[in-house]
């Protein structure tokens, strides 16, 4: 099984930490955010991770060489030559994800940290037979930071 992790953002809200380090490599609970994700994916049978890289791509790739060997998981990259939003990287990496087999794959944002229930998500997706399944969470309106919400109805 494969997974795509979107890692092209600039990490502006985490500056100054991200001036010298891509956001997915910023430590959370004593290890880089992206490492939490790769380990969780590996635990449910993902054997290849495709990263969509842009900002500080070389720093990211150098770090992940060691991760690839240590975790025995294939890590490949799809490079964005310019920022193409959220769906753009998915289109750019299509050939690395879709091989005609119809195999399920994950798509993650690199900066989302939670208690992953990837196994439950796979089971849900397979049980319902849809084209795609999206994991969401309920958030109280009062918990949202107003400067990040433009309109909410």
Cβ contact 43:120 at 8 Å? no
Q: For residue 36, what are its two tokens?
A: 């939490």
Residue 28 domain-assigned (yes or no): yes
Q: How many domains does the chain have?
A: 1
Model confidence pTM above 0.85: no
CATH number of the domain that residue 68 is part of: 3.90.550.10
Look at residue 145 in the predicted model and tell me its pLDDT.
64
Residue 107 domain-assigned (yes or no): yes
Q: How far is CA 2 from CA 44, 58, 128, 137, 142, in A?
A: 11, 22, 20, 23, 36
> pLDDT tens across 65-124, in order?
888 888 889 988 887 777 677 777 777 777 877 777 777 788 888 777 777 688 888 888
Say yes or no to pLDDT of 148 above 60. Answer: no
């Amino acid at each position: 099984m494969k997974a795509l992790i979107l890692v092209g953002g600039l990490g502006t809200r985490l500056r100054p930490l991200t001036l010298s380090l891509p956001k997915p490599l910023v430590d959370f609970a004593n290890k880089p955010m992206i490492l939490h994700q790769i380990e969780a994916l590996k635990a449910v049978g993902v054997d290849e991770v495709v990263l969509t890289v842009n900002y500080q791509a070389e720093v990211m790739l150098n770090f992940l060489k060691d991760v690839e060997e240590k975790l025995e998981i294939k890590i490949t990259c799809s490079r964005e030559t310019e920022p193409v939003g959220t769906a753009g990287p998915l289109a750019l990496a299509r050939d690395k994800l879709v091989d005609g087999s119809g195999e399920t794959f994950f798509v993650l944002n690199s900066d989302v940290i939670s208690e992953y229930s990837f196994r439950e998500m796979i089971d849900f997706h397979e049980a319902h037979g849809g084209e795609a399944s999206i994991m969401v969470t309920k958030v109280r309106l009062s918990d949202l930071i107003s400067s990040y919400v433009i309109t909410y109805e």
